[in-house]
Amino acid sequence: MSTEQRRVLHGTSLSPGLAEGPVYLYKHLSGLTDLPVNIETKQIDEEYFNLDKATLKISDDLELLAAKVEEEIDSKLAEVFVAHQMIINDSYLRKELRKEISLNLINASSAVKVVMLRWEQRFLLMESQIARDKGDDIHELSNRLQNALAGITLHPLEEVPRNCILVTSRLMPSDTIFLAERSSLAILLEHGSSASHAALFAREMALPCIAGIPDLLKSVKSTSWALVDSDCGNVTFCPAEEDKVAFRKKVRIKEQSLSRAREEARGPALTKDGVRINVHANTSCLTDSRQAIRNGADGIGLFRMEMLYMARKTAPDSQELFQQIKDIIKVFNNKHVYIRLLDVGADKQIPFMDFLVEINPALGQRGIRYLLRYPKLLETQLRALLLLSLEFDVRILIPMVTVADDALRVKETLHKLAAELQVLKIPKLGAMIETPAAALQAVSISEYVDFMSFGTNDLTQYVFAADRENVMVDQYFDDSADAIFRLLKMTHEDLPHMPLSLCGELAGRPEQIARVLQCGITSLSVATPLIPLIKEAIRKLSLTASHG
Ligand code: PEP
Ligand code: MG
């Protein structure tokens, strides 16, 4: 019998913190179905039956989805699901799938994989973009069918047990929503970059997270116990008794100093020369909000609406959005709450919007571009926010603004809906400055907005042409480079009276705060666990001294 050996592995810390507990290994499903599963002749009818049942299920789901999307978002989008439904019921496809099962004696799932890959490749080789898009539709349908055949209705991460250390290869932004409710203790990844959404999520949830641990999945067993020290980027599997004693001592010391910092964070953050800097929280769920209040947040500086869409099968309507947001923000009473309109596209895909197929999605229909293409989606959100503004100090943030027209169109829609709903006091509207173009032409954008907030995560991605999710280009992704500060400073010089805030990860680095404040930024929004640290850093600074 082999017993597991004590082992210390190193990686890059994406989110600091200490945690200890049992390991849960999460392997992606795709690897499990690589080899075709053979059947005997007598099982052919059973596989036909399974195939028909799964097809019917998917077809019904798609019909429901199309109806809901048509009602709540856009009829153009609904057409995509109608088209998917037609493909899945195509008699030629059905014949080919049956033939694959009977001739090659493989089960329905293997047949779906083989046949639909063949179809997909045929489309992907075609000249026209429309045909190539169809290839992606087939890919999507293939996954749906394979999942239905495997009886998978849950997202696999919904099965992660509570209070464990999740060990996996990588996390997609849409995975994180399933983790939000699972109360994991820490996350260990083979791959992951510091500006990825999974990393932001971990920081916001105060979940220690270490990435870049090669062959992690191969070298760890589900039975292991682990000590995760994400302050140093180390993890000890199967620790010795002395490791545990030393680790627990470190945890106690850290908890004591954190509770002191929290105590002090309750008050406002004033620089030595008396300038008040608001320190807001980045939140997207109730857990964040509660923690934000405990940590002394002056309000919410960035409410990412994506989380409200990611966990669902269809888009919420205004009333649902209103209620869900209200539940999350109500602990803030009369404090500022900056809510960002849905920012989807590129690395942030929503399950029921996964038909977005673009060759270069980071430069495609992201954020406001997507919302302007599907005005019903925008209007649903604005209605909910207008209703919320009757009870809260809500401010609206527009994601991924590049030109003034983006802001103008939102402003016009907001005013139109306010008139319809008879909301007299229109909430303040702000532009996220997260593309170089927005910073460079902030003056023209300023005509339509009341404030601006720098999203330095995307700004850095676009300034350095370095994908924030791609570890291979991490060395180019430097959000505290001179190039970034130059854009911040220039925007302030061009618009000295425009209220400027910063809600990218840069705002959460104590050592950068002096430089950030010198760029005229008067409010910061950070992951909730960082609020006490950032307030502490502000109190040590003098703006007049740093200007001099
Ligand atoms: C940013 O880009 O800096 C930002 C705050 O938005 P997100 O990270 O959600 O893209
Ligand atoms: Mg962004």
Range of lowest pLDDT (76-80, 136-140, 227-231, 390-394):
76-80
Range of lowest pLDDT (37-46, 343-352, 442-451):
343-352
**How confident is the model at residue 360, as a pLDDT?**
83
Q: Which residues are within 8 A (CB) of 147 and not within 5 positions of it... i.e. 6 or more apart?
A: 153
Q: Determine whether the shortest distance from the Cβ of 399 to ligand 1 is under 6 A.
A: no
**How confident is the model at residue 340, as a pLDDT?**
98
Of residues 51 and 170, more confidence is placed in 51
**How confident is the model at residue 83, as a pLDDT?**
84
**How confident is the model at residue 76, as a pLDDT?**
67
Range of lowest pLDDT (9-23, 423-437, 481-495):
9-23
Angle value at C-alpha 19, between 13 and 25, nearest 5 degrees: 80
Distance 433 CA to ligand 2 centre (A): 9
- Beta-strand relationship, 523-527 and 500-502: parallel
pLDDT at 96 over 70: yes
Distance 455 CA to ligand 2 centre (A): 5
Q: Determine whether the shortest distance from the Cβ of 449 to ligand 1 is under 6 A.
A: no
**How confident is the model at residue 30, as a pLDDT?**
40
Angle value at C-alpha 298, between 287 and 451, nearest 5 degrees: 110
**How confident is the model at residue 9, as a pLDDT?**
93
Out of 7-21, 90-104, 438-452, 530-544, give the one with best mean pLDDT: 438-452
> Would you tell me the crossing angle of helices 318-329 and 286-294 to the nearest 10 degrees?
30
Q: Determine whether the shortest distance from the Cβ of 453 to ligand 1 is under 6 A.
A: no
Q: Note the CATH number of domain 7-26+160-257.
A: 3.50.30.10
Q: CB–CB of 368/410 below 8 Å? A: yes
The mean per-residue pLDDT over the stretch 139-168 comes to: 78
Ligand 1 atom showing the smallest separation from residue 456 Cα: 3
Q: Which helix (H) or strand (E) holds 456?
A: helix 456-463
Of residues 136 and 540, more confidence is placed in 540
Ligand 1 atom showing the smallest separation from residue 503 Cα: 5
**How confident is the model at residue 152, as a pLDDT?**
67
Range of lowest pLDDT (63-72, 183-192, 421-430):
63-72
pLDDT tens, 227-281? 999 999 999 999 999 999 999 999 999 988 888 888 888 899 999 999 999 999 9
**How confident is the model at residue 432, as a pLDDT?**
98
Distance 548 CA to ligand 1 centre (A): 32
Average pLDDT, the chain: 88
Ligand 1 atom showing the smallest separation from residue 197 Cα: 8
Q: Determine whether the shortest distance from the Cβ of 456 to ligand 1 is under 6 A.
A: yes
Q: Determine whether the shortest distance from the Cβ of 458 to ligand 1 is under 6 A.
A: yes
Rounded to two decimals, the pTM is 0.75
Distance CA 10, CA 28 (A): 23
**How confident is the model at residue 492, as a pLDDT?**
98
Classify residue 122 by its DSSP letter. Answer: H
Q: CB–CB of 315/77 below 8 Å? A: no
How many alpha carbons lie under 13 Å from residue 506 in its C-beta half-sphere? Answer: 32
Structure tokens at 190: 């083979």
pLDDT at 82 over 70: yes
Ligand 1, atom 3: nearest CA belongs to which residue?
455
pLDDT tens, 440-469? 999 999 999 999 999 999 999 999 999 887
pLDDT at 151 over 90: no
pLDDT at 74 over 80: no
**How confident is the model at residue 28, as a pLDDT?**
55
Q: Determine whether the shortest distance from the Cβ of 288 to ligand 1 is under 6 A.
A: no
Q: Determine whether the shortest distance from the Cβ of 427 to ligand 1 is under 6 A.
A: no
User: With pLDDT > 90 as the criterion, what percentage of the chain qualifies?
Assistant: 58
Phi then psi dihedrals of residue 423, to 5 deg: -95, 115
**How confident is the model at residue 333, as a pLDDT?**
83
The mean per-residue pLDDT over the stretch 169-192 comes to: 75
> Could you write out the DSSP letters of every residue in 466-507?
--TT-GGGGGG--TTSHHHHHHHHHHHHH-TTS-EEE-SGGG
Q: CB–CB of 58/141 below 8 Å? A: yes
pLDDT at 180 over 80: no
Count CB-CB contacts under 10 A for residue 425: 9
- In Å, what is the CA distance from 193 to each residue of 258, 395, 466? 26, 31, 11
Distance 432 CA to ligand 1 centre (A): 9
pLDDT tens, 184-205? 899 999 888 887 777 887 887 7
pLDDT tens, 352-366? 665 456 778 889 889
**How confident is the model at residue 248, as a pLDDT?**
97
**How confident is the model at residue 158, as a pLDDT?**
61
Encode burial over 37-73: b for 16+ CB neighbours within 10 A, e otherwise: eebeeeebeebbebbeebbebbeebbeebbebbbebb
The arrangement of secondary structure in 277-547, i.e. its CATH architecture, is: Alpha-Beta Barrel (3.20)
Q: What are the structural domain ranges in the chain?
A: 7-26+160-257, 41-149, 277-547
Q: Determine whether the shortest distance from the Cβ of 383 to ligand 1 is under 6 A.
A: no
User: With pLDDT > 70 as the criterion, what percentage of the chain qualifies?
Assistant: 89
pLDDT at 382 over 60: yes
Q: Which fold has domain 41-149?
A: Enzyme I; Chain A, domain 2 (1.10.274)
Three-state DSSP at 121 gives: helix
pLDDT tens, 271-327? 999 999 999 999 888 888 888 999 999 999 999 998 888 767 788 999 999 999 999
Count CB-CB contacts under 10 A for residue 265: 22
**How confident is the model at residue 173, as a pLDDT?**
61
